[in-house]
Amino acid sequence: MPVHRTVLGEDALPRQWYNVLVDMPTKPAPALNPATKQPVGPDDLSAIFPMALIAQEVSTDRWIDIPEEVLEALALWRPTPLHRAWRLEKALGTPAHIYYKNESVSPPGSHKPNTAVPQAYFNKKEGIKRLSTETGAGQWGSALSFACNYFDLECMVYMVRVSFQQKPYRKSMMNTWGGTVIASPSDQTNVGRAILAEHPDSPGSLGMAISEAVEDAATRDDTNYALGSVLNHVLLHQTVIGLEMKKQFDIVGEKPDVLVGCTGGGSNFAGFFLPYIPDKLESPDMRIVCVEPASCPTLTRGKFAYDFGDTGKMTPIMQMHTLGHDFVPPGIHAGGLRYHGMAPIVSALVDDGTIEAVAGHQLEVFAASVMFARTEGIIPAPETAHAIWAACEEAKKCIETGEEKVIAFNFSGHGLVDMAAYDAYLGGKLHNYAYPQEAIEESWKNLPVI
């Protein structure tokens, strides 16, 4: 029988995170203080982040030790398996070898606890009692609730309203782990009240929910803020994915030619491909492909510019691809990909041409996802479905060329709490939606002047 899953023992769990900043040919520009427009220093960030994470954010060390307590928590589900998608390959009729790293096996069902666990740990160590955060699809909120429960912290989650309505069971998961969840925009914060006064029916957005969570943390001494994506330290924590995968490909005896992953704020895919950046720099033919929704086309149609990370303009200004901080994407089911910005590390790599980006429409993405569920068995999260679609497109090109390319994608999460999305797709109720250029340009008018 051919090997389906390459599984590592707990002793193969990476003991250090990989800091790509050291090896990047073009480093991301520094984040700026929104008031002074000067590079942010530790003092600007210490109101909402612990010093250990601030140090990781700007570290110049290539390798950063993972604390023993964090490893113990990660060992609840890590290392995750690397699967060969034999049945998907056969259904596509492709000579390509398709692999996926299965991050859906974590307790909350996605890659998100890879960073939720260390973030909760470092905050706890510095005496913090409560964390506030935003969540889109609910994956990050449930991961942080899980991690806060593990380290005995309170967790307050502002959940984008449209997802709050579409995904009630994500809320149940957060509550089960002891987290508190409210729909954003909410009447609990100044920024939420201001948005509701202008747009009482606002579907919410990640940008709005971030503003609410940051305000919550900045106005309470016992509370810090935790971000589920975008920032350097979040991407750093996710590198356990790619580091494990390198060991797994050594066992398999193959090397990936194409790496594919979905990008919302960039964390799952970065964790998957960043450890391969030194390989990519040595072998330029290797390709790294970010996949995003055509309805929220940050990397493919966004401007590479300084912008706020949130709608309420409370976060540092970062140089990244952006659709504008007050861009409100349509309420697609891939809630985790509805973000106007991108991780500065991912953006810098796209901008200098090291990696590339494509956008997929909802209907083709769901078609690929259903095909995956019917061949490989696992039902993908709608975000993950974007990676599957693009991996299948790459595999189809190999049918024409006859190449046996090795294509690997990150299976960032399962969709078992997203079944309303599948009901809508199977019931013919989903539509494609490409964001109009005029709306994007309108939003760019409000970019900060640097």
Residue 262 within binding range of ligand PLP, rule CB under 6 A: yes
Residue 322 found at the interface with ligand PLP (CB under 6 A): no
Among 14, 266, 309, 360, binds ligand PLP (CB under 6 A): 266
Is residue 192 close enough to count as binding ligand PLP by CB under 6 A? no
Amino acid at 339: Y
* Token couple for 220: 């309470």
Buried residues in 306-338 as b, exposed as e (16+ CB within 10 A): bbbbbbbbbbbbbbbbbbbbbbbbebbbbbbbb
Q: Which of 19, 211, 268, 315 forms a contact with ligand PLP (CB under 6 A)?
A: 268
Nearer to ligand PLP, 186 or 384 (CB): 384
Supply the DSSP string of 95-132, one letter for each residue: SSEEEEEEGGGSTTSBSTHHHHHHHHHHHHHTT--EEE
Which C-beta is closer to ligand PLP: that of 110 or that of 295? 110
DSSP strand E in 35-179: where? 63-65, 82-84, 97-102, 130-135, 154-160
User: Does the footprint of ligand PLP cover residue 312 (CB under 6 A)?
Assistant: no
**Candidate residues 73, 137, 379, 391; the one interacting with ligand PLP per rule CB under 6 A:** 137
Residues of this chain, 367-426, that bind ligand PLP according to CB under 6 A:
381, 383-384, 412-413
Question: Are residues 207 and 309 in contact, defined by beta-carbon separation less than 8 angstroms?
Answer: yes
Minimum CB separation of residue 235 from ligand PLP in Å reads: 9
Strands 258-262 and 154-160: unpaired
- Binding of ligand PLP by 263 (CB under 6 A): yes
- Span of 36-44, 76-84, 115-123, 262-270 interacting with ligand PLP by CB under 6 A: 262-270
Beta carbon of residue 109, minimum distance to ligand PLP (angstroms, whole number): 8
Site for ligand PLP in 207-246 (CB under 6 A): 229
Phi-psi map region of 152: left, alpha, beta (phi>0 left; psi -120 to 50 alpha)? left
Residues in 140-159 that interact with ligand PLP by CB under 6 A: 140
- The answer to whether 54 and 44 are in contact (CB under 8 A) is no
Q: Confirm or reject binding of residue 302 to ligand PLP (CB under 6 A).
A: no
Closest CA to 236 of 22, 38, 51: 22
Least separation in angstroms between residue 335's CB and ligand PLP is: 7
- Does position 267 interact with ligand PLP (CB under 6 A)? The reply is yes
Helix, coil or strand: residue 214: helix
Q: Which stretch binds ligand PLP (CB under 6 A): 131-139, 150-158, 245-253, 352-360?
A: 131-139
> Tokens for 28?
């991301």
- In the stretch 99-128, what mask flags binding to ligand PLP with x, by CB under 6 A? -----------x------------------
CA 314 to each of CA 118, 162, 182, 392: distance values in angstroms, whole numbers, following the listed order: 24, 22, 20, 40
In angstroms, how far is CA 331 from the centroid of its own chain? 18
Element (H, E) at 288: strand 287-293
Least Cβ distance, residue 186 to ligand PLP (angstroms): 19
Residue in the shown chain whose Cβ atom is closest to ligand PLP: 336
Instruction: Give the Cα-Cα-Cα angle 444, 445, 447 (nearest 5 degrees).
Output: 65
Q: Segment 335-364, which members bind ligand PLP (CB under 6 A)? A: 336-337
Binding site for ligand PLP (CB under 6 A): 110, 136-137, 139-140, 229, 262-268, 336-337, 381, 383-384, 412-413
